[in-house]
A = this chain, B = another copy of it.
């Protein structure tokens, strides 16, 4: 049976403050836990139903991971989901160092103030699909260990390195030293389909409502635009794409060129 302190510990991890203090976060769901256990992330505890442990008895769970059998009712008490799954894990927050040599020869997504957890999680999933290994975020981007981000990333969080850093300083240093091209999508950029795209670079995405913040636009070396094919029959045209959708269209076009 779950103790009150166990319940309050796990539910506290829905808040960033406690995740930061304890340096752990929660991950839920069968598929997500398969991806977690196949990754280098350290799993402290797994809370799951008897049914789950029986069904997944072939899964390699490290001996250092504490396995706790719970009922569905107990799981509901600690879950961040409205419809809890059979399993919830408490996972250590990893610490990554930005490897500049890795960034030099690859594509990297850079996020400026993406506050919606669902969009952020979807972007992590997109990066994973398109073989992007690093995402570099402004500190005001959502926390990647927020349960909603973890959920929306569908296990991709365990394969991608997410970094938080002071973006103006980071991009300034890049433009002075490494000179990795910085692609920004803006409403007045060059049509992406007729632009020259390099095989390495930073793909900088800003928030849907405010775009890339002005402080950062000066570091953009190539300004891109995804053309709209709306025919203007209507008085009002669509003014933007969802930020995750735009990220996907841009990443797909970079990868198409290299295929």
Q: How far is the CA of A126 from the CA of B242 in the complex (A)?
A: 8
Q: Judge if A94 is at the interface, Cβ distance under 8 Å.
A: no
What B residues does A54 contact at CB under 8 A?
none
- Contact: B255 with A125, CB < 8 Å? no
**A126 to chain B: closest residue by CB:** B245
**Contact: B236 with A35, CB < 8 Å?**
yes
A159 beta carbon closer than 8 Å to chain B: yes
Please provide the chain A residues from 128 to 166 with a CB less than 8 Å away from any CB of chain B in the complex. Answer: 128-131, 152, 154-156, 159
CB within 8 Å for A38 and B131 given contacts A125-B241, A229-B255, A259-B227: no
Confirm or deny: A65 has a beta carbon within 8 angstroms of a beta carbon on chain B.
Answer: no
Contacting pair B252 A226 (CB below 8 A): yes
> A129 near B252 (CB under 8 angstroms)?
no
Does the CB pair A229–B129 fall under 8 Å? yes
Judge whether A34 is part of the interface by a CB distance below 8 angstroms. yes
- With a cutoff of 8 Å between Cβ atoms, the chain B residues found around residue A242 in the complex are 122, 125-126, 152, 244
Q: How far is the CA of A171 from the CA of B2 in the complex (A)?
A: 52
Indicate if A118 sits at the interface (CB-CB under 8 A).
Answer: yes
Task: Give every chain B residue within 8 A of A191 (Cβ-Cβ).
Answer: 259
For the complex of A and B, list the 5 residue pairs with the smallest distance between their C-beta atoms, beginning with the closest: A131-B229, A38-B235, A38-B236, A128-B238, A245-B248
